């Protein structure tokens, strides 16, 4: 004998995947779009704040001392004498000149005569630049670095980090973990929610709106089977769409963070398993929530309107991942829907996996889902809800 | 009496009217009594017609019998199963057709037939020959793989009809079965209902078309304003007059002279 739940489950999937264009749009498109947008954002960010490798700034100086003109030549800075200070400033404003350096007339003598312990003001060099221009900013950096190193060469007592080895001991894994644990939980909540939104209102409010649910309700099909079959099928579709978005995000991470290699390399299969459990239970809970709301609504549009506040709530809760430095330590946090999922994901991404927290999250999500299925079953049984006008 | 297959006792249904509905119905009453203590019986192998004007409560009665909505009071036994306490049993014993029940546009008649056969738990070896017979009987076979959205109104109605009897029920309840159909398609449907009677099935139809009742029904119940005005065989009800004349006489009697 056939199982009613399985029949509904297969019908829902047949409905979704039978329409190739919608299925592709709902599943592949989010991932591809996210990958394209993030990769573009990453490369746009990096090109916006850096200059070409063989960049030579145009620099003018007033009263350039001999000591610095040789140093500048060695550093690859070509410095022209300034025709006039005001004239040069106007050129910088118009972004035609990158930098103007104004030295005191007898700079070398003043520097040699200056006693730092005297408390008198030190000889001053003025650098004029235009921060709106990337080239000008770069010229400013180069010139200040040159002057700094000249200054320290005059009275070198000690150096900080003089060598070329790596002093930052954070591993790629730590960097990736910190970054991913603040970003991914929110993104995942959004992706999963949109995945549910793409199908649940259509499948439940839509069937009400089109009058096809009544045709199901006059068959001996159990209402609980109808609720379960729909929730499982919708969860699978939401998971697929969430998965594509997640893969798109992870693939674009290196470009976005300007990091080398594979960002996921730090995570072990156990982390992936934990993440899958959290995501799976979260999706079931989300689908149950959205299905319940959709069952109340008379039309798909109405359902989408009712669900919007919930989506905003889920996003706001997702933002909590960015604060607080790591996952919440208090046990009760893992009983709160949405919040528990976000915090459990933070734990996994930050490589601070806590199985107690994780299992509480999964179990509470499943309990809330079961309550949702019970509620949905009652609504399918209620003529007021199903046939309201 | 074993051939009594449908026993309706004192069915009552009221609807709470929203402010908007009150305006549409031009009434100040908060509650609309749609069906008011309706009783009748139907026997195995007969076609029973529920005749009544618009808004009489025909559809509401049939929806209660099909367990889509619950009565406020009263009960009905469908082949021994109560519509109040055993709705699932009732659902597997009846085939119900009304314009309210839609088929998903996206699927084909072939897919839907199998889907509803699954829901009714019809075994594969039974469903196949039954599908073939019904599809060729109604000319659906050429359209078996055409999406419902692309079918004509008449063909949609035929597919709905076939889908409603995938489980070969003993009681068939059709609400306005010929509404919106051309004379040819309507004849196909009425011929089929007579065929079902020939197989010993019980058919319950609702209509406001007198000629349909005269042509088709063995017994008829006249519903006016939610209650049964008269019920019996066609001859008993007509008393030698035409059905139409009898109906108007009853209507004036019930609703007062000014109606
Ligand atoms: N869900 C509902 N809410 C409020 N009133 C309703 C509802 N369903 C039916 N009614 C009212 O109950 C009365 C009976 O309606 P019903 O549809 O049963 O009539 P009918 O005999 O089938 O008429 P028709 O020939 O027009 O189909 C009507 O006045 C209708 O407006
Ligand atoms: Mg009606």
A212 touches B at CB < 8 Å: yes
B70 touches A at CB < 8 Å: yes
CB contact under 8 Å between B115 and A222, yes or no, is no
A64 in the same domain as A41: no
Specify whether the CB–CB gap between A184 and A249 falls below 8 A. Answer: yes
At which of A149, A181, A206 does a domain end?
A: A149
Cβ neighbors of A197 (< 8 A, separation 6 or more) are A290, A304, A307, A311
Chain B hits for A387, CB-CB cut-off 8 Å, are: 68-69
Cβ neighbors of A62 (< 8 A, separation 6 or more) are A81, A82, A85, A88, A100, A101, A102, A103
- Closest by CA to A125, choosing from A109, A146, A147, is A147
On the question of pLDDT at A119 being above 70, the answer is yes
B190 lines ligand 1 (CB under 6 A): no
Express each pLDDT in B3-39 by its tens digit: 889 999 999 999 988 888 788 877 778 888 999 999 9
Express each pLDDT in A267-317 by its tens digit: 788 888 898 899 999 999 999 999 999 999 999 999 999 999 999 999 999
Query: Is A164 within a domain?
Result: no
Q: What is the pLDDT of residue A172?
A: 65
Average pLDDT in chain B: 91
Give residue for tokens 């950096």. Answer: A141
Alpha carbon dihedral A355, A356, A361, A362, in 10-degree steps, equals 60
At which of A117, A149, A181 does a domain end?
A: A149
Radius of gyration, alpha carbons of chain A: 31
| Side-by-side strand order, sheet with B31-43 | B31-43, B4-16, B73-78, B81-82
A70-74, A172-176, B219-223, B225-229: which has the minimum mean pLDDT? A172-176
Ligand nearest to the CA of B51: 1
On the question of pLDDT at B197 being above 90, the answer is yes
A96-100, A335-339, B18-22, B32-36: which has the minimum mean pLDDT? B18-22
**CA of B259, closest CA in chain A: separation in Å?**
29
Q: What is the pLDDT of residue A1?
A: 44
A184 in the same domain as A93: no
- Closest by CA to B158, choosing from B169, B148, B168, B145, is B148
Chain B hits for A12, CB-CB cut-off 8 Å, are: none
d(CA A235, CA A255): 31
Q: Which residues of B60-89 are buried (b: 16+ CB within 10 A; e: fewer)?
A: bbbbbbbbbbebeebebbbbebebbeebeb
Express each pLDDT in B70-118 by its tens digit: 999 999 999 999 999 999 999 999 999 998 899 999 999 999 999 999 9
d(CA B232, CA B253): 18
Choose which residue among B11, B17, B55 to substitute to test ligand 1 binding: the one with the highest number of ligand atoms within 8 A of its C-beta: B55
Interstrand relation of B219-224 and B4-16 (parallel, antiparallel or unpaired): unpaired
B109 lines ligand 1 (CB under 6 A): no
On the question of pLDDT at A245 being above 70, the answer is yes
First and final CA of chain B: distance in angstroms? 40
Task: Give the phi and the psi of residue A304 in degrees, each rounded to 5.
Answer: -60, -40
How many domains does one find in chain B?
Answer: 1
* ipTM of model: 0.92
d(CA B115, CA B109): 10
A180 in the same domain as A142: no
CB contact under 8 Å between B100 and A214, yes or no, is yes
d(CA B33, CA B190): 31
Q: What is the pLDDT of residue A379?
A: 94
Give A366's pLDDT tier (boundaries 50, 70, 90): very high
CATH of the domain at A78: 3.40.190
Q: Which residues of B206-229 are buried (b: 16+ CB within 10 A; e: fewer)?
A: bbbbbebbeebbebbbbbbbbbbb
CB contact under 8 Å between A220 and B69, yes or no, is no
Q: What angle do CA B193, B198, B201 make, to 5 degrees?
A: 70
Q: What is the pLDDT of residue A37?
A: 82
On the question of pLDDT at A117 being above 90, the answer is no
A177 in the same domain as A85: no
Domain extent for B166: 4-25+34-258
CATH of the domain at B130: 3.40.50.300
What does chain B look like in DSSP terms, one character per residue? -TTEEEEEEEEEEEEEPPHHHHHHHT---SEEEEEEEEEEEEETT-EEEEE--TTSSHHHHHHHHTTSS--SEEEEEETTEETTT-HHHHHHHEEEE-TT----TTS-HHHHHHHHHHHTT--HHHHHHHHHHHHHHTT-GGGTTS-GGGS-HHHHHHHHHHHHTTT--SEEEEESTTTT--HHHHHHHHHHHHHHHHTT-EEEEEES-HHHHHHH-SEEEEEETTEEEEEEEHHHHHTTS-HHHHHHHHHHHHH-TT-
Q: What is the pLDDT of residue B242?
A: 83
Regarding pTM above 0.90, the answer is no
The alpha carbon of B208 and the centre of ligand 2 are apart by a number of angstroms equal to 9
On the question of pLDDT at B258 being above 70, the answer is no
How many CB atoms sit inside 10 A of residue A22's CB?
A: 15
Q: What sign results for the dihedral spanned by CA atoms A343, A344, A346, A350?
A: positive
B15 touches A at CB < 8 Å: no
A314 in the same domain as A200: yes
Q: What is the pLDDT of residue B127?
A: 95
- Nearest atom (ligand 1) to Cα of B21: 4
Average pLDDT in chain A: 86
A118 in the same domain as A210: no
A31 in the same domain as A70: no
The alpha carbon of B58 and the centre of ligand 1 are apart by a number of angstroms equal to 8
Specify whether the CB–CB gap between B59 and B206 falls below 8 A. Answer: yes
A41 in the same domain as A133: no
Cβ neighbors of A51 (< 8 A, separation 6 or more) are A134, A135, A138
Give B244's pLDDT tier (boundaries 50, 70, 90): confident
A258 in the same domain as A131: no
**Average pLDDT estimate for A62-89:** 83
On the question of pLDDT at A62 being above 70, the answer is yes
Q: Which residues of A180-210 are buried (b: 16+ CB within 10 A; e: fewer)?
A: bbbbbbbbbbbbbbbbbbbbbbbbbbbbbbb
A273 in the same domain as A296: yes
On the question of pLDDT at B201 being above 90, the answer is yes
Give B1's pLDDT tier (boundaries 50, 70, 90): very low
On the question of pLDDT at B259 being above 60, the answer is no
Query: Is A91 within a domain?
Result: yes
d(CA A138, CA A143): 9
Query: Is A50 within a domain?
Result: no
Chain A hits for B101, CB-CB cut-off 8 Å, are: 211, 214-215, 218
Express each pLDDT in A211-242 by its tens digit: 999 999 999 999 999 999 999 999 999 999 88
Domain extent for A141: 58-149
Around ion ligand 2, residues with a beta carbon closer than 5 Å are: B 59
Give B257's pLDDT tier (boundaries 50, 70, 90): low
Q: What is the pLDDT of residue A282?
A: 94
Chain B hits for A14, CB-CB cut-off 8 Å, are: 107, 111
Q: What is the pLDDT of residue B45?
A: 93
d(CA B98, CA B194): 19
């Amino acid at each position: 004998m056939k199982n009613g739940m399985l029949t509904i489950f297969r019908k829902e999937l047949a409905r979704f995947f039978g329409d190739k264009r919608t299925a592709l749009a709902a599943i592949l498109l989010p991932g591809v779009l996210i990958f394209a947008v993030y990769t573009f954002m990453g490369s746009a960010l990096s090109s916006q704040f850096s200059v070409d490798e063989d960049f030579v700034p145009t620099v003018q100086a007033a009263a350039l001392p001999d000591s610095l003109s040789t140093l500048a030549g060695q550093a690859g800075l070509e410095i022209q004498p300034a025709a006039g200070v005001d004239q040069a400033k106007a050129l910088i404003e118009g972004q035609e000149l990158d930098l103007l350096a104004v030295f005191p007339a007898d700079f070398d003598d003043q520097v040699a005569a200056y006693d730092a312990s005297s408390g008198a003001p030190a000889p001053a060099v003025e650098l004029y630049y235009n921060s709106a221009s990337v080239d000008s900013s770069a010229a400013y950096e180069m010139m200040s670095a040159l002057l700094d190193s000249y200054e320290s060469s005059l009275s070198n007592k000690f150096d900080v980090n003089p060598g070329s080895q790596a002093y930052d001991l954070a591993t790629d894994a730590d960097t990736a973990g910190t970054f991913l644990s603040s970003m991914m939980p929110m993104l995942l909540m959004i992706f999963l929610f949109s995945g549910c939104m793409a199908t649940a209102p259509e499948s439940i409010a839509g069937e009400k709106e089109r009058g096809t649910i009544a045709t199901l309700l006059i068959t001996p099909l159990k209402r609980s089977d109808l609720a379960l079959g729909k929730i499982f099928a919708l969860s699978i579709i939401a998971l697929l769409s969430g998965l594509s978005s997640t893969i798109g995000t992870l693939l674009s991470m290196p470009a976005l963070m300007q990091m080398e290699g594979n960002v996921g390399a730090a995570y072990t299969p156990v982390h992936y398993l934990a993440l899958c459990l959290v995501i799976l239970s979260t999706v079931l809970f989300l689908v149950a929530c959205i299905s319940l709301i959709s069952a109340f609504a008379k039309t798909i549009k109405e359902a989408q309107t009712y669900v919007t506040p919930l989506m905003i709530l889920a996003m706001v809760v997702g933002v909590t991942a960015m604060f607080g430095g790591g996952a919440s330590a208090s046990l009760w946090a893992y009983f709160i829907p949405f919040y528990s999922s976000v915090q459990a994901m933070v734990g996994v991404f930050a490589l601070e996996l806590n199985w107690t927290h994780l299992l509480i999250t999964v179990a509470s999500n499943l309990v809330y889902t079961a309550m949702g299925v019970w509620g949905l079953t009652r609504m399918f049984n209620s003529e007021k809800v199903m046939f309201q006008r | 009496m074993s051939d009594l297959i449908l026993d309706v006792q004192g069915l009552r249904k009221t609807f709470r009217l929203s402010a908007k509905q009150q305006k549409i119905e031009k009434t100040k009453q908060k509650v609309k009594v749609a069906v008011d203590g309706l009783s009748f019986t139907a026997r195995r192998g007969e076609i029973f017609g529920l005749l009544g004007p618009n808004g009489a409560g025909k559809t509401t009665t049939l929806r209660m019998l099909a367990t889509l909505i619950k009565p406020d009071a009263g009960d009905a036994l469908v082949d021994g199963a109560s519509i109040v306490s055993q709705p699932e049993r009732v659902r597997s014993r009846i085939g119900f057709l009304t314009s309210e029940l839609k088929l998903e546009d996206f699927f084909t008649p072939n897919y839907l037939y199998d889907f509803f056969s699954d829901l009714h738990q019809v075994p594969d070896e039974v469903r196949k020959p039954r599908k073939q017979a019904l599809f060729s009987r109604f000319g659906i076979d050429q359209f078996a793989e055409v999406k419902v959205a692309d079918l004509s109104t008449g063909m949609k109605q035929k597919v709905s009809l076939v889908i409603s009897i995938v489980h070969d029920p003993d009681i068939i309840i059709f609400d306005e079965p010929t509404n919106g159909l051309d004379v040819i398609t309507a004849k196909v449907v009425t011929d089929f209902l007579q065929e079902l009677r020939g197989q010993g099935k019980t058919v319950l139809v609702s209509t406001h078309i007198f000629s349909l009742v005269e042509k088709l029904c063995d017994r008829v119940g006249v519903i006016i304003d939610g209650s049964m005005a008269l019920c019996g065989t066609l001859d008993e009800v007509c008393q030698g007059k035409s059905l139409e004349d009898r109906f108007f006489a009853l209507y004036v009697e019930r609703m007062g002279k000014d109606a």
